[in-house]
């Protein structure tokens, strides 16, 4: 059922709708639309940049193996034999998909302010330690542990944002933070070029050079940022240090009325069932799976693809930057347009067609410049899909098994506990696309 739009100057109390669900202890609280806009902008400036930075580091530590491969990793660890490089990629995604739902359940209990930075420090440490691996077995172990910490990052950050924003505000913010994947791809090529040129250093028994520099310094920066993050990140709208007392009450109450549920509710077996038996979530997960084949595959193989065009390793690293920048800008624009128009599917379908055209050109064209243009088509067409499908699932009603048989309106939504499970298992199923890609 759609809520009646609140009149200008106040927000309508939702306690009398949907069977008399009460909106919480501040059900009589009223505020103006101007006040809500100010609060939303404050949350934007204090939350979205940090989540974006954390996810950029997450994705950077995930895909830097592709940059390291053409800087000597494959040769030093003998990864071109028996599909070893692909196995190193696959073990990451296998572990990654197993921990996503459990990680989100822990996040719901612990809170994002501490748990998300903990994950960031964890995968930063693993990336740093990867600089010291000596053989294929060591690399497989490192990639498996990387999957343990990174598995909870994307769904965790999506759920964390949903605890601060209403449904029609969520995709634009998710589009910004997930676009960090594109930013990571862009900076990854530049950083790999610069870091690989640092002269060899370290102890005689553990020299750090070329591709080892990439893992070491990117991991070190990630750990530092992860340690700083809890100082600035809010735990919840109730405790956001940058809001006044009244603004904190409004920030919390507007979400209670939006979702008609207590933000502090714990995840139960009923919540698991409500999320898992919603067919719409499987539609979104399947779309995420298909998009992820492209996004994850392109992210780790982009340097190799460009290197195979006949370009040097340095040129391949540098030329990987522009397609990611284009993908970032388009992903944000599509997220903004989708929130404004209250449409998801039409935008996702349209840009998927552009990616299909890019793949067709890559398959049959031989000229390097034309093939490079096709890479733009693929990145621009595919990268908006991740945040689109995930937010679509989290925005939709999964409050009961029978919800799948009802028309799913944009305004329908489940409570925080159900959304925590939904974001976890939709990304879990989507992550299988990363295994297919490798």
- Check residue 45 and give its pLDDT: 92
* Dist. CA 89–CA 83, nearest whole Å: 10
Summarize pLDDT for 292-313 with one digit per residue, the tens.
888 888 877 888 888 888 888 7
- Check residue 2 and give its pLDDT: 37
- Check residue 6 and give its pLDDT: 42
Return the higher-pLDDT residue of 5 and 235: 235
- Asked whether 142 and 129 are in contact (CB, 8 A), the reply is yes
**Count of CB atoms situated within 10 Å of the CB of 352:** 18
* Dist. CA 41–CA 172, nearest whole Å: 13
- Check residue 283 and give its pLDDT: 84
- Check residue 15 and give its pLDDT: 35
Give the largest Cα separation in the chain, rounded. 72
Return the higher-pLDDT residue of 392 and 130: 130
pTM of the model: 0.74
Summarize pLDDT for 398-415 with one digit per residue, the tens.
434 444 344 333 334 555
Give me the percent of the chain exceeding a pLDDT of 70: 84
- Check residue 408 and give its pLDDT: 37
Mean pLDDT score, 382-397:
76
Q: How confident is the model at residue 88 (pLDDT cuts 50, 70, 90)?
A: very high
Return the higher-pLDDT residue of 404 and 105: 105
- Asked whether 179 and 332 are in contact (CB, 8 A), the reply is yes
* Dist. CA 346–CA 257, nearest whole Å: 29
- Check residue 144 and give its pLDDT: 96
Q: How confident is the model at residue 227 (pLDDT cuts 50, 70, 90)?
A: very high
Summarize pLDDT for 196-226 with one digit per residue, the tens.
889 999 887 788 999 999 999 999 999 999 9
Return the higher-pLDDT residue of 260 and 349: 349
Mean pLDDT score, 91-97:
89
Mean pLDDT score, 121-142:
95
Q: How confident is the model at residue 260 (pLDDT cuts 50, 70, 90)?
A: low
Mean pLDDT, rounded, of the chain: 81
Summarize pLDDT for 139-174 with one digit per residue, the tens.
999 999 999 999 888 888 888 988 898 877 877 887
- Check residue 239 and give its pLDDT: 86
- Check residue 317 and give its pLDDT: 78
Residue burial 34-66, b: 16+ Cβ < 10 Å; e: rest? eebeebbebbbebbbebbbbbbbbbbbbbbbbb
- Check residue 416 and give its pLDDT: 63
């Amino acid at each position: 059922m759609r809520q009646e739009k609140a009149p200008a100057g106040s927000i309508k109390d939702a306690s009398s709708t949907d069977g008399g669900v009460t909106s919480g202890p501040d059900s009589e609280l009223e505020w103006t639309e101007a006040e809500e806009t100010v609060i939303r902008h404050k949350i934007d400036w204090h939350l979205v940049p940090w989540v974006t930075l954390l996810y950029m580091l997450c994705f950077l530590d995930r895909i830097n193996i592709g940059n390291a491969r053409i800087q000597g990793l494959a040769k030093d660890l003998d990864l071109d034999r028996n599909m070893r490089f692909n196995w190193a990629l696959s073990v990451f995604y296998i572990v990654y998909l197993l921990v996503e739902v459990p990680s989100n359940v822990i996040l719901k209990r612990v809170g994002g302010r501490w748990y998300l930075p903990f994950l960031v420090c964890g995968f930063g440490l693993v990336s740093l330690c990867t600089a010291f691996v000596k053989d294929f077995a060591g690399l497989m172990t490192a990639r498996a542990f990387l999957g343990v910490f990174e598995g909870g990052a994307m769904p965790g950050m999506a759920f964390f944002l949903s605890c601060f924003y209403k449904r029609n505000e969520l995709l634009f913010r998710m589009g910004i933070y997930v676009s960090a994947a594109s930013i990571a791809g862009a900076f990854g090529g530049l950083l790999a070029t610069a870091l690989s040129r640092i002269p060899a250093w370290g102890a005689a028994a553990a020299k750090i050079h070329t591709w080892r520099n990439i893992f070491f310094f990117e991991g070190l920066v990630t750990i530092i940022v992860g340690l700083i993050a809890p100082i600035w990140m809010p735990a919840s709208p109730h405790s956001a240090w940058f809001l006044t007392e009244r603004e904190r009450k409004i920030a919390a109450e507007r979400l209670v009325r939006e979702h008609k549920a207590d933000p502090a509710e714990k995840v139960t077996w009923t919540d698991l069932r409500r999320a898992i038996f919603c067919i719409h979530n499987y539609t979104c997960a399947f779309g995420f799976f298909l998009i992820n084949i492209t996004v994850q595959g392109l992210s780790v193989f982009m340097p190799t693809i460009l290197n195979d065009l006949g370009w040097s390793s340095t040129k391949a690293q540098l030329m990987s930057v522009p397609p990611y920048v284009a993908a970032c800008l388009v992903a944000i624009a599509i997220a903004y347009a989708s929130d404004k128009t209250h449409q998801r599917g039409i935008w996702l379908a349209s840009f998927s067609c552009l990616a299909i055209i890019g793949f067709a050109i890559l398959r049959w064209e031989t000229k390097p410049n034309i093939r490079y243009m096709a890479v733009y088509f693929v990145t621009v067409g595919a990268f908006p899909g991740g945040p689109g499908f995930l937010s679509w699932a989290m925005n939709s009603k999964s409050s009961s098994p029978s919800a799948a048989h009802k028309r799913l309106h944009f305004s329908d939504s489940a409570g925080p506990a159900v959304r925590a499970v939904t974001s976890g298992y939709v990304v879990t199923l989507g992550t299988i696309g990363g295994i297919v890609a490798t």
